[in-house]
Amino acid sequence: MGATFPELSGAKAIVTGGATGIGSAIAAALARQSVTVTIADIDRAGAEAAARELGGHAVAIDVRKRGSVEAAFAEGERLMGGFDLLIANAGVSTMQHALAITDEEWDFNFDVNVRGIFLANQIAARGFKQRGRGTIVNTASLAAKVGAPLLAHYSASKFAVLGWTQALARELAPSGIRVNAVCPGFVKTGMQTREVEWEAQLRGVSPERVVADYIAQTPLGRLETPEDVADVVVFLCSDSARFMTGQGINVTGGVYMT
Protein backbone atom coordinates (compact mmCIF):
# COMPACT_ATOMS: atom_id res chain seq x y z
CA MET A 1 0.00 0.00 0.00
CA GLY A 2 1.45 3.35 -1.04
CA ALA A 3 4.83 4.27 -2.48
CA THR A 4 8.18 3.37 -0.95
CA PHE A 5 10.50 6.12 0.25
CA PRO A 6 13.91 4.59 1.03
CA GLU A 7 15.17 7.83 2.59
CA LEU A 8 12.71 7.34 5.47
CA SER A 9 14.34 4.07 6.51
CA GLY A 10 15.90 4.59 9.92
CA ALA A 11 13.92 7.74 10.70
CA LYS A 12 12.23 8.06 14.09
CA ALA A 13 8.70 9.37 14.57
CA ILE A 14 6.30 10.26 17.36
CA VAL A 15 2.61 9.98 16.46
CA THR A 16 0.18 11.58 18.91
CA GLY A 17 -3.25 10.03 19.09
CA GLY A 18 -1.78 6.97 17.44
CA ALA A 19 -3.65 4.21 19.26
CA THR A 20 -6.67 4.18 16.94
CA GLY A 21 -8.15 5.58 13.77
CA ILE A 22 -6.12 7.82 11.49
CA GLY A 23 -3.21 7.95 13.93
CA SER A 24 -2.93 4.17 14.05
CA ALA A 25 -2.94 3.99 10.24
CA ILE A 26 -0.23 6.68 10.06
CA ALA A 27 1.94 4.82 12.55
CA ALA A 28 1.54 1.59 10.57
CA ALA A 29 2.30 3.31 7.26
CA LEU A 30 5.49 4.83 8.69
CA ALA A 31 6.54 1.50 10.15
CA ARG A 32 6.20 -0.05 6.68
CA GLN A 33 8.81 2.49 5.56
CA SER A 34 11.17 1.14 8.26
CA VAL A 35 10.56 4.18 10.47
CA THR A 36 10.84 3.54 14.21
CA VAL A 37 7.59 4.76 15.73
CA THR A 38 6.56 5.83 19.22
CA ILE A 39 2.80 6.00 19.67
CA ALA A 40 1.79 8.69 22.17
CA ASP A 41 -1.81 8.50 23.33
CA ILE A 42 -3.92 9.34 26.36
CA ASP A 43 -4.97 5.67 26.24
CA ARG A 44 -1.71 4.07 27.37
CA ALA A 45 -3.04 0.51 27.04
CA GLY A 46 -4.27 1.21 23.51
CA ALA A 47 -0.95 2.77 22.58
CA GLU A 48 0.92 -0.25 23.90
CA ALA A 49 -1.29 -2.67 21.94
CA ALA A 50 -0.83 -0.70 18.72
CA ALA A 51 2.92 -0.39 19.28
CA ARG A 52 3.32 -4.12 19.82
CA GLU A 53 1.88 -4.79 16.38
CA LEU A 54 4.44 -2.45 14.82
CA GLY A 55 7.45 -3.37 16.92
CA GLY A 56 7.44 0.21 18.15
CA HIS A 57 7.16 2.03 21.45
CA ALA A 58 4.32 3.54 23.46
CA VAL A 59 4.08 6.48 25.84
CA ALA A 60 1.18 8.07 27.67
CA ILE A 61 0.37 11.67 26.81
CA ASP A 62 -2.25 14.31 27.53
CA VAL A 63 -1.66 16.84 24.77
CA ARG A 64 -3.50 19.52 26.74
CA LYS A 65 -0.76 19.65 29.37
CA ARG A 66 2.72 20.98 28.69
CA GLY A 67 4.37 18.81 31.33
CA SER A 68 2.77 15.67 29.91
CA VAL A 69 3.89 16.47 26.36
CA GLU A 70 7.42 17.27 27.50
CA ALA A 71 7.64 14.03 29.48
CA ALA A 72 6.16 11.91 26.68
CA PHE A 73 8.49 13.34 24.04
CA ALA A 74 11.52 12.97 26.31
CA GLU A 75 10.59 9.33 26.91
CA GLY A 76 10.03 8.72 23.19
CA GLU A 77 13.38 10.29 22.42
CA ARG A 78 15.05 8.12 25.03
CA LEU A 79 13.42 4.94 23.71
CA MET A 80 14.34 5.66 20.09
CA GLY A 81 17.58 7.54 20.55
CA GLY A 82 16.06 10.77 19.20
CA PHE A 83 13.29 11.60 16.77
CA ASP A 84 12.99 13.65 13.61
CA LEU A 85 9.34 13.28 12.59
CA LEU A 86 6.34 14.54 14.55
CA ILE A 87 2.84 13.60 13.49
CA ALA A 88 0.57 15.75 15.67
CA ASN A 89 -2.64 13.86 15.11
CA ALA A 90 -4.46 13.77 18.46
CA GLY A 91 -7.89 15.34 18.14
CA VAL A 92 -11.46 15.27 19.38
CA SER A 93 -14.89 16.34 18.24
CA THR A 94 -18.34 16.97 19.61
CA MET A 95 -21.41 17.95 17.64
CA GLN A 96 -24.10 20.50 18.42
CA HIS A 97 -26.13 23.33 16.91
CA ALA A 98 -24.00 26.48 17.05
CA LEU A 99 -26.41 28.33 19.34
CA ALA A 100 -26.44 25.41 21.79
CA ILE A 101 -22.68 24.85 22.09
CA THR A 102 -21.63 25.01 25.72
CA ASP A 103 -18.49 26.59 27.11
CA GLU A 104 -17.34 23.10 28.07
CA GLU A 105 -17.73 21.77 24.51
CA TRP A 106 -15.91 24.77 23.06
CA ASP A 107 -13.05 24.48 25.54
CA PHE A 108 -12.74 20.70 25.06
CA ASN A 109 -12.33 21.05 21.28
CA PHE A 110 -9.87 23.92 21.54
CA ASP A 111 -7.86 22.41 24.40
CA VAL A 112 -7.14 19.21 22.45
CA ASN A 113 -7.26 20.33 18.82
CA VAL A 114 -5.49 23.68 19.14
CA ARG A 115 -3.55 23.76 22.38
CA GLY A 116 -2.52 20.14 21.79
CA ILE A 117 -1.11 20.97 18.35
CA PHE A 118 0.59 24.09 19.70
CA LEU A 119 2.30 22.26 22.55
CA ALA A 120 3.35 19.23 20.50
CA ASN A 121 4.70 21.38 17.66
CA GLN A 122 6.51 23.85 19.88
CA ILE A 123 8.17 21.26 22.10
CA ALA A 124 9.24 19.07 19.17
CA ALA A 125 10.40 22.01 17.06
CA ARG A 126 12.67 23.34 19.80
CA GLY A 127 14.59 20.08 19.63
CA PHE A 128 14.46 19.94 15.83
CA LYS A 129 15.90 23.44 15.58
CA GLN A 130 18.82 22.56 17.84
CA ARG A 131 19.58 19.51 15.67
CA GLY A 132 19.03 21.35 12.40
CA ARG A 133 16.46 18.91 11.00
CA GLY A 134 12.91 17.74 11.48
CA THR A 135 9.51 17.45 9.85
CA ILE A 136 6.08 18.11 11.32
CA VAL A 137 2.72 17.01 9.93
CA ASN A 138 -0.44 18.16 11.71
CA THR A 139 -3.87 16.60 11.29
CA ALA A 140 -6.41 19.30 10.41
CA SER A 141 -9.69 18.53 8.64
CA LEU A 142 -12.04 19.24 5.76
CA ALA A 143 -13.73 21.33 8.46
CA ALA A 144 -10.59 23.53 8.45
CA LYS A 145 -11.37 24.58 4.87
CA VAL A 146 -15.13 25.07 5.00
CA GLY A 147 -17.33 25.66 8.04
CA ALA A 148 -19.30 22.54 8.87
CA PRO A 149 -22.88 22.77 10.20
CA LEU A 150 -23.22 21.20 13.67
CA LEU A 151 -19.43 21.40 13.99
CA ALA A 152 -18.90 25.16 14.29
CA HIS A 153 -16.64 24.81 17.34
CA TYR A 154 -14.71 21.94 15.77
CA SER A 155 -14.36 23.87 12.50
CA ALA A 156 -13.06 26.89 14.38
CA SER A 157 -10.46 24.75 16.13
CA LYS A 158 -9.28 23.19 12.87
CA PHE A 159 -9.12 26.55 11.08
CA ALA A 160 -6.80 27.55 13.92
CA VAL A 161 -4.61 24.52 13.23
CA LEU A 162 -4.10 25.66 9.64
CA GLY A 163 -3.26 29.22 10.69
CA TRP A 164 -0.73 27.94 13.19
CA THR A 165 0.74 25.52 10.63
CA GLN A 166 1.29 28.30 8.09
CA ALA A 167 2.84 30.73 10.58
CA LEU A 168 5.10 28.10 12.14
CA ALA A 169 6.21 26.93 8.70
CA ARG A 170 7.34 30.45 7.81
CA GLU A 171 9.30 30.81 11.06
CA LEU A 172 11.00 27.42 10.86
CA ALA A 173 11.78 27.36 7.13
CA PRO A 174 15.18 29.09 7.56
CA SER A 175 16.13 26.24 9.92
CA GLY A 176 15.25 23.61 7.31
CA ILE A 177 12.22 22.37 9.24
CA ARG A 178 9.07 21.73 7.23
CA VAL A 179 5.55 22.01 8.72
CA ASN A 180 2.48 20.83 6.82
CA ALA A 181 -1.04 19.63 7.57
CA VAL A 182 -3.44 17.11 6.11
CA CYS A 183 -7.14 17.82 5.83
CA PRO A 184 -9.13 14.56 5.78
CA GLY A 185 -12.78 14.39 4.76
CA PHE A 186 -15.37 11.82 5.78
CA VAL A 187 -13.06 9.17 7.25
CA LYS A 188 -14.47 5.86 8.44
CA THR A 189 -13.21 5.72 12.05
CA GLY A 190 -14.58 5.31 15.54
CA MET A 191 -14.81 9.11 15.73
CA GLN A 192 -16.96 9.15 12.61
CA THR A 193 -19.23 6.45 14.05
CA ARG A 194 -19.92 8.69 17.05
CA GLU A 195 -20.45 11.71 14.82
CA VAL A 196 -22.90 9.84 12.61
CA GLU A 197 -25.02 8.97 15.65
CA TRP A 198 -24.90 12.57 16.92
CA GLU A 199 -25.73 14.03 13.52
CA ALA A 200 -28.60 11.61 13.00
CA GLN A 201 -30.13 12.69 16.30
CA LEU A 202 -29.61 16.42 15.65
CA ARG A 203 -31.01 16.22 12.11
CA GLY A 204 -33.80 13.78 12.94
CA VAL A 205 -32.72 11.26 10.31
CA SER A 206 -31.29 7.75 10.37
CA PRO A 207 -27.56 7.04 10.70
CA GLU A 208 -27.73 5.34 7.31
CA ARG A 209 -29.03 8.57 5.77
CA VAL A 210 -26.13 10.52 7.29
CA VAL A 211 -23.56 8.11 5.82
CA ALA A 212 -25.33 8.19 2.45
CA ASP A 213 -25.14 11.99 2.51
CA TYR A 214 -21.40 11.84 3.20
CA ILE A 215 -20.87 9.57 0.22
CA ALA A 216 -23.11 11.70 -2.00
CA GLN A 217 -20.92 14.74 -1.22
CA THR A 218 -17.76 12.82 -2.18
CA PRO A 219 -17.01 12.82 -5.92
CA LEU A 220 -14.90 9.66 -5.62
CA GLY A 221 -18.00 7.93 -4.32
CA ARG A 222 -17.02 6.26 -1.07
CA LEU A 223 -16.09 6.94 2.51
CA GLU A 224 -12.44 7.72 3.11
CA THR A 225 -10.24 5.21 4.93
CA PRO A 226 -7.54 6.03 7.48
CA GLU A 227 -5.02 4.56 5.04
CA ASP A 228 -6.00 7.17 2.44
CA VAL A 229 -4.78 9.82 4.88
CA ALA A 230 -1.76 7.85 6.10
CA ASP A 231 -0.22 7.51 2.64
CA VAL A 232 -0.33 11.29 2.16
CA VAL A 233 1.28 11.84 5.56
CA VAL A 234 4.13 9.48 4.61
CA PHE A 235 4.62 11.43 1.38
CA LEU A 236 4.79 14.71 3.34
CA CYS A 237 7.47 13.19 5.57
CA SER A 238 9.54 12.11 2.57
CA ASP A 239 12.09 13.90 0.43
CA SER A 240 9.53 13.89 -2.37
CA ALA A 241 7.81 16.71 -0.45
CA ARG A 242 11.10 18.51 0.24
CA PHE A 243 9.86 21.82 -1.24
CA MET A 244 6.47 21.77 0.49
CA THR A 245 5.85 23.64 3.72
CA GLY A 246 2.92 25.53 5.22
CA GLN A 247 0.42 23.51 3.21
CA GLY A 248 -2.98 22.16 4.21
CA ILE A 249 -3.33 19.19 1.87
CA ASN A 250 -6.90 18.15 1.05
CA VAL A 251 -7.43 14.40 1.29
CA THR A 252 -11.19 14.46 0.83
CA GLY A 253 -12.04 12.47 -2.26
CA GLY A 254 -12.92 15.75 -3.97
CA VAL A 255 -15.35 17.10 -1.39
CA TYR A 256 -13.27 20.29 -1.27
CA MET A 257 -11.00 21.24 -4.16
CA THR A 258 -9.49 24.65 -3.34
Q: Cβ-count burial of 48 within 10 angstroms (0-12 exposed, 13-18 middle, 19+ buried)?
A: middle
- Active-site amino acid positions: 154
Phi, psi of 6 (to 5 degrees): -55, -30
Compute how many other C-beta atoms are within 10 angstroms of the C-beta atom of residue 44.
15
Query: Over the Cα atoms of the chain, what is R_g?
Result: 17
* Spatial CA neighbour of 167 closest among 156, 153, 181, 183: 181
- Per DSSP, 19 falls in state S
